[in-house]
Structure 1
Amino acid sequence: MNQRSRLNLLVIQIFIASLMFALFGRLFYLQVAAGPKYRDAALSIQSRDVVTPANRGFIVDSSGVPMALNKVGLAVTVDRTKIDKLPDKGVAVVQDLVNLLGLNFDDVWQRTRLCGELPKGKKAGCWTGSRFQPIPITKTADPQLALRIVERSDRYPGISATPLAIRSYPTTLGLNGGHVLGYVGPLTEADLAGANGRSYFRSESIGKAGLETVYDEYLRGVPGIKTFIVDRKEAVTTTSKNTKPTAGNHLVTSLDIRLQAAAEAALAGAVKRARGSGFRADGGAAVVLDVRNGQVLALASYPTFDPNAFEKGLSVQEANDLYSESNGVPALNRALQGLYAPASTFKSVSIIAAKDAGYDLNASYACPSEVQVGTRAFQNFESKAQGTLSMKKALAVSCDTIWYRIAYDEWLRDGGLKPKSNPNDYFFKAAAKFKVGEKTGVDLPSESAGRLADREWRKDWYSQNKDFYCNYKTRATKAQQTPFLLQLARENCIDGDKIRAGDAVNFSIGQGDTVVTPIKLAQMYAAIANGGTIWKPTIAKAIVKTDGTVLRTFKPEKLGDLGVDQETLVFLRDALREVTISGTAAGAFSGFPVATAGKTGTAQVFGRNANGSAKADTSWYASFAPAKNPRYAVVMMVSQGGYGSGTSGVGVRQIYETIFGAQGSTVKPELALFPAGKPPTKLPRISPATKPKPSILNPGKPKAVASATPAAKVKVKAKR
């Protein structure tokens, strides 16, 4: 063998050795280094998970009274692994079952179909879990019917009845709490795809609204998992994993169940009172804040919905009704999603603007019946002249024309339609101090930001709408082409990017394009009451484990300071007190034994209802109490509710009656919600059967709150 042959042989040997080395290396990687990964992959093909949801944590008020808990329900379930083996795939059994339970066959059949079995677009109500997991078709079965099903297993093969925990929202003292508590529901495809950044098991229920969704990661707990190994025929061969569920943690809130119920009742009463006076009153909201730290003590929206209905399952009609305008859109949380012109409640901001502009708050000003602004006469409320008034009295009787003159004069000084390069904009800047146009940051979903209609907003609005107004005759409907709207379109086309005189004077009295939410107005009045601090409204106080260990606390968060001198704030508080003594709210608060301060608002609304009628005024009342040492800010709004005092003012008085234990012109300390004069700051010990103390709504012996599921074994005693 020559040298060349030996070299070729050596190369071949090296090549073969390299291949063998690579082969053995790959084999080592697959069987040793990456063995667990591929074993899991192989196992997943043969495994089926059955999920046992964890008991959801309670949501309790500041004294430990449950507002959302779990109760034992009786579920009738279908086992697909059994009924699928029947000749007709279980059709006859399910038909017999629904006849017994009084259910609709099509609905039940849909609920027992796996989502993967159904074509796209027809998956509504399908089962998101596993075939190997019992599928509930009702969670509130009659025990007698359930017993009949269990006893006749030959007639109902694959059908069983089992107790399970279902979410429950007690109606203690008439409490609803739908908009603040929210509700739970099954997972959607978006949830399973990780749209909110979390991972779930298919058969879980999660928070869908309110506190239930914001704090879902704490409340949900950890589900138990049982993994079955199956063969090619889907027959179970063994169980490879079995973990027990871990109950969720409890959420302690700043809400008080008695005050929440009182706010809901007062709001519903205000709506009914407005309707009785001939107003449409299509909805409303009420908010109660602790002015010292921004904690939300009550939050109500009307109309509302029953959060328990989602656990039972909504019909298509019930789901549509939640968003129906004819029903008032019950799904809308008006307290933090509704946007309304603040009307005269905004004059508190104008007081600060006037002081910044150099006006003497202790001087007197003329309050004529109207003020000429350009070519238009702006009238006082009901066109009444009030003579010459002090600024304090002007706020008390809600004179408009004083503000028309001041706002118009300042608009002219800023250059009018040809503004200076750096206008003073005292009114806009005063509103910005209150963070108007920004969200409050409350720990509830879908809050609206509101709108501060200043120069920057006006330019943005114009860029978006210029084309429409400049081509109004071809773009608008015939019904929209009235003489007034045509003239308005012309003006908006020519100088819609500028703050006009009418915009300036309307802004000063809370009309025009500036809108706020009720919770924003409550935040603003809380800042006036506490000396200028703007607090972030918060509901959560703490997350507590089932063994009582505090997992997390939520501290009050300061968002800023008004930057207003204390002399101005003292003047403003005194003027707001005068409103209830000799001003527009004197009738609503006549004889009330606790000194309160507040401001009425009656906002004009442009447009028409679906039936063609003109929209009625928005009723507002914003307040704080006690007047000298404020603890609470209370705001009520009734959309299309008419006058501020007679509708919302009376409703706010009723809320204060509950807070202070007032009856008529006297205070009964034993009925006051907070005997120490302020809401509790210590965390309660959570109990399934904590009972609310007596109050005006509940003067006698309180009834026990519905007990929780056996899994929650925390013994607690409420502290107020």
Structure 2
Amino acid sequence: MAAGASHRSRLRLIVIQTLVFSLLATLGVRLYYLQVVSGERYQGKAASQSVREIVVQPQRGLIVDAMGRPLVTNRLTWVVSIDRTLIGRMSAADRTELLARTSDAIGVKVDKIEAKLLLCGDSGAVAGQCWNGSPYQPVPVAQDVKEGAALRILEQPEDFPGVVVDRQTLRQYPSPYGINAAHVLGYLSPITKEELESAEKTGDSSVNGASVVGRAGVEKQYDEWLRGQPGYQQVAVDSKGRVRQDVSGLAAQPGDTLVTSIDAKVQSVVEEQLAAMIAKQRSTRDPVTKRNFEADSGAAVVMEAKTGRIVAMASQPTYDPSVWVGGITDKQLERLYSEAAGTPLLARAFQGQFAPGSTWKPFMTVGALTHGYTPSTVLSCPSAVQIGNRAFHNHESAAYGSISFAKALEVSCNTFFFQVGMSFWQKYGSDPDDVDAKDPLVEQAEKFGFGERSGVDLPGEASGRVADRKWKRDYYESMKDYYCGIAAKPQDEKTSDFVYKFSREFCVEGWKYRLPDSANFAIGQGDTIVTPLQLARGYAAISNGGTLWEPRVGKAIVSPDGTVIREIEPKKERKLKIPASVLTYVDEALQGVSTHGTMAWKLNGFPLDRVRIRAKTGSAEVYGKQSTGWVASYTEDYVVVMMISQAGTGSGSTGEGIRAIWEALYGVDGDQVNPSTAAIPGVTPPAKLPTFGDDGSILPPARSKKGQ
């Protein structure tokens, strides 16, 4: 029995030894496989877990004027960021203490720092405040930090673990000649989650979660050129997320420079004159309402007549574009959208829509002279015309007897043009229910580009409106429930007599296009509205012989090393089929407006024999408000348009400003013309681009012997 037991013990020992040997052999084979066969792959995975990728934002491209003057540049600023990964490993007490210490150093409240550290999409995150970038990248919590505060953090790193201080670039507005140009230049704000996801789907690597993108003006229109290409820096971190060394990197590529057609010196004059005219009217008594003019908003445009390029463009009210730099406060944002403040974000020059008043009449003259009327046509200009049960008057009920189209433009006779509009209504569309009736005046307005966007390279352009028969039918369908609802109830104290009467009439037959509609259309009243930019390009077409251009602000894209990547050529939209004799007739009539018509009193003593200004004034009536004043003017070189809402007559409200702009454009002093003192050297804008030096310098464009 003893021998058998001994044998079984030896057998068990052999089995155990065999199992142990097998396990050791298996372990050895596995270790060999991991360390030798697959060593490189696992070593790479291990290394990747200790390497973090940090985005290096590119420097955004410059925006310069046609002479190379900087309109938007960049400046270096101290930025304080916090490493979320590192502070996430801290105890609650240490984290609280660190944030409090950082708050004290940079002057930002703790709750605002915490809001910035939240990832967009996390619970409690607020759009515009949360972090949209990589969770492994330090999150900027303060920009434009004072140098003393930045140095304090840099010199005491043991007191600020996880707090990173570096220099970054922010937008800067040099404001040559004191210009604002906010609505032309635009502004930037952080990229949204939706925009980032869209970019990722299309493979666009030029943006990332920490990018800022253009939101308005040329900053938005040319954003893809201006933004540049981000770089990437790979850094090795320890187990606590602290950076130990740089591993590799890809340098960021700066954005390209945008050369615009804006001339800063002209822009300065335009902005100054628009603001001055508004201020003057606000202190002027309105003879109609017996109170001072509101003059609540305005716009001005200077355009090259032969190309459609924008030389200057201003809107009021405006705002300081630098308020967006580094983040905008809720109070500042509220003001920009506030109606009480005049909605400063609205660019009246190309987004504001206003009744054109008598500045509309030259286009109606072209329509009439190409559809049966002739330069020898004579119509009466009585003080009033009876249409239905209402008398339609001239301004101040003036009467001029029997006159021609030219004289009607000079004195801005409404009753003359009422008759023109009514004659076409009676000839082609006396059935008020016929939405397809022919209307030569409507057709001519549309050919001049009214009722559609001009195609300017600025986002958010308004289309204006040509209030024809189809529009009136569509408007009735969209508004009948509202007005019929008012008409169905007894009039209350909140509803004026005018509104109540209008509602009752509109509900019954608001779709009908009647004789008064056609009469009002012919003088730029009623429901037709235009933007100042649309009006400017319409007058440019009269000036240049009938070419309708798409307005342009951008002139060229230039790389950081000075290479011209793309020239932005003017785009011809269409050539209007208007007889040269008709354009010449209108041109001479509008010159008469300047010499002895409604604009003459503001151009007294101006050397019109050397600078032949053609002009048309306009005063558009708006229900419940004071009149909108317009002046549209041009020469062979430029178009200058200015309007002010609730400011009275056109020449009375803007005439002096229009004159001052023309004086600057041609170097006029009194009755003398000195081209050497003109705002633009050589009088007309340079055809060539600024000269870009290898050292980053930008010089004015070289001019040809002819000044071009």
Task: Verify: 1:269 aligned to 2:279, yes or no.
Answer: no
1:119 to 124, 127, 140: 124
Aligned residue number for residue 139 of structure 2: 135
Q: Deviation at 1:335?
A: 0.9
Tell me, in whole angstroms, the C-alpha distance in 2 between the residues paired with 1:348 and 1:575. 9
Deviation at 1:305, TM superposition (A): 1.3
Question: In structure 2, what is the equivalent of residue 57 of structure 1?
Answer: 61
SS in 1 for 2:642: strand
SS across alignment from 2:548: strand
Q: Is the 8 A contact 2:177 2:268 kept in 1?
A: yes
CA distance in 2, matches of 1:660, 1:383: 37
After TM superposition, the structure 1 stretch with the greater mean CA deviation from structure 2, 576-585 or 124-133, is: 124-133
Displacement after TM superposition at 1:410 (Å): 2.1
What residue number does 1:296 align with? 310
2:628 to 618, 621, 625: 618
Q: How does 1:214-363 map to 2 (within 5 A)?
A: 214-228=221-235, 241-277=248-284, 278-363=292-377
Match of 1:641 among 628, 639, 647: 647
1:164 Cα deviation after fit: 1.6
Q: Which runs of 5+ in 2 are unaligned?
A: 1-40, 285-291, 704-708
Retained in 1: the 8 A contact 2:188–2:325? yes
Q: Whole-Å Cα distance in 1 between the matches of residues 128 and 489 of structure 2? A: 39
For residues 29-73 of structure 1, what are the alpha-carbon distances to aligned partners after superposition, in whole Å with 9 as ceiling and x for unaligned?
A: xxxxxxx9x999999988643111111111111111111111122
Q: Work out the CA distance in 2 between the residues paired with 1:204 and 1:251.
A: 19
Superposed displacement of residue 372, structure 1: 0.6
Where do residues 670-685 of structure 1 align in structure 2 (5 Å cutoff)?
Answer: 670-685=676-691
Contact 2:676 2:682 in 1 (8 A): no
In structure 2, what is the Cα distance between the partners aligned to 1:476 and 1:250?
63
Counterpart residue identity of residue 148, structure 1: R
Query: Within the alignment, does 1:188 sit opposite 2:192 as a pair?
Result: yes
Letter matched to residue 619 of structure 1 = G
Aligned to 2:154: 150
Tell me, yes or no, if the aligned pair for 1:373 and 1:408 is still in contact at 8 Å: no
In structure 1, the residue matched to 2:74 is 70
Which letter maps to 1:217?
Answer: E
Q: 1:679 to 1:470 in 2, by over 3 A?
A: same
Query: What CA deviation, in whole Å up to 9, does each residue of 1:260-286 have, x standing for no partner?
Result: 122111111121112111211111111
Q: Which has the higher mean CA deviation after the structures are superposed, 583-592 or 38-47?
A: 38-47
Match of 1:657 among 655, 663, 681: 663
With structure 2 as the length reference, what TM-score do the two structures score?
0.86
Q: For structure 1, which segment, 217-226 or 132-141, has the greater mean C-alpha deviation from structure 2 after superposition?
A: 132-141
CA distance in 1, matches of 2:141, 2:359: 51
Distance 2:352 2:549 in 1: 21
How many angstroms does 1:233 deviate by? 7.0
Residue by residue, what CA displacement relative to the aligned partner does 1:161-202 show, whole Å, maximum 9, x if unpaired? 322211111122111111101112211122212279655211
Contact 2:162–2:242 (8 Å) recurs in 1: no
Q: Which residue of structure 2 lines up, in the alignment, with residue 164 of structure 1? A: 168
| Number of equivalences | 649
Q: What corresponds to 2:95 in structure 1?
A: 90
* Residue 377 (structure 1) aligned to one of 388, 391, 403: 391
Same amino acid, percent of matched pairs: 40
SS in 2 for 1:67: strand
Aligned residue in 2 for 1:595: 612
Query: Quick one: distance in 2 between partners of 1:153 and 1:552?
Result: 47
Aligned to 1:612: none
Q: Which moved more, 1:143-152 or 1:273-282?
A: 143-152
For 1:514 and 1:672, locate their aligned partners in 2 and report how far apart those are by CA, in whole Å.
37
Q: CA deviation at 1:474?
A: 4.3
Pairwise mapping of residues 405-554 of structure 1 onto structure 2 (< 5 A)? Answer: 405-418=419-432, 423-474=437-488, 478=492, 481-554=495-568
- Displacement, 1:360? 2.8
| C-alpha distance 151-39 of structure 1, shift in aligned 2 (>3 A) | closer
Q: Indicate the residue corresponding to 1:99 in structure 2.
A: 104
Distance, in Å, in 2 between the alignment partners of 1:44 and 1:211 is 41
Tell me the distance in 2 between the aligned counterparts of 1:274 and 1:190. 46
Contact 2:81 2:165 in 1 (8 A): yes
2:699 matched to which residue of 1? 717
Distance 2:306 2:538 in 1: 13
* Native 8 Å contact 1:546 1:713 kept in 2: no
Which of the residues 176, 179, 183 maps onto 1:179? 183
CA distance in 2, matches of 1:176, 1:211: 14
SS for the counterpart of 2:325 is helix
Report deviation, 1:238: 8.1
Residues 311-359 of structure 1, C-alpha deviations (whole Å, 9 max, x = no match): 1321110010000011010010111111110000000111112212322
Q: Is the 8 A contact 1:468 1:475 kept in 2?
A: no
SS at match of 1:325: coil
- In structure 2, the partner of 1:207 is 214
Q: Which amino acid in the other structure matches residue 676 of structure 1?
A: G
For 1:126 and 1:201, how far apart are their aligned partners in 2?
Answer: 14
* Alignment check: 8 A CA contact 1:473 1:481 kept: no
Residue 512 of structure 1, CA deviation: 0.5
Amino acid in structure 2 at the alignment position of 1:344: S
Query: SS of the counterpart of 1:287?
Result: strand
Displacement of 1:245 in angstroms is 0.3
C-alpha deviation, 1:230, in angstroms: 7.0
CA distance in 1 between partners of 2:212 and 2:267 (Å): 26
Does the CA contact (< 8 Å) of 1:291 and 1:529 recur in 2? Answer: yes
User: Does the 8 A contact of 2:432 with 2:514 survive in 1?
Assistant: no
* 2:77 partner SS: strand
Amino acid corresponding to residue 194 of structure 1 in structure 2 = S
Q: Which amino acid aligns with 1:388?
A: S
Q: Distance in 1 between matches of 2:619 and 2:590?
A: 16
Instruction: Give the distance between the partners of 2:657 and 2:544, measured in 1 at CA.
Output: 23
Instruction: Return the letter of the residue paired with 2:107.
Output: G
**1:689-708 paired onto structure 2 within 5 Å:** none
Query: For residues 191-223 of structure 1, what are the alpha-carbon distances to aligned partners after superposition, in whole Å with 9 as ceiling and x for unaligned?
Result: 212279655211112212110111111111111
CA deviation after TM superposition for structure 1 residue 418, in Å: 4.8
CA distance in 2: counterparts of 1:148 and 1:303, whole angstroms: 42
CA distance in 2, matches of 1:435, 1:215: 25
**8 Å contact kept, 1:527–1:533:** yes
- CA 1:42 to 1:179, structure 2 compared with 1: closer, same or farther past 3 Å? farther
Counterpart amino acid of residue 317 in structure 1: K
Q: Distance in 2 between matches of 1:108 and 1:172?
A: 36
- Following the alignment from structure 1 to structure 2, what is the Cα–Cα distance between the partners of residues 42 and 341? 70
Pairwise CA distance, 1:588: 1.7
2:555–2:567 contact (8 Å) kept in structure 1? yes
Partner SS for 1:63: coil
Q: Which amino acid aligns with 1:179?
A: H
Higher Cα Rg, which structure: 2
SS of corresponding position for 1:125: coil
- What is the letter of the counterpart of residue 267 of structure 2? Q
Give the TM-score normalised by the residue count of structure 1: 0.85
Contact 2:297 2:644 in 1 (8 A): yes
From the superposition, tell whether residues 536 and 45 of structure 1 become closer, same or farther in structure 2 (CA, over 3 Å). Answer: farther
- 1:236 CA displacement: 6.7
C-alpha displacement of 1:139? 2.6
Change in 2 beyond 3 A, CA 1:46/1:146: closer
Tell me the distance in 2 between the aligned counterparts of 1:251 and 1:475: 58
SS at match of 1:499: coil
Letter matched to residue 105 of structure 1: V
Counterpart-to-counterpart distance in 2, 1:96 and 1:295: 54
Q: How has the CA–CA distance of structure 1 residues 124 and 679 changed in structure 2, closer, same or farther, with 3 Å as cutoff?
A: closer
Helix, strand or coil: the match of 2:379? strand
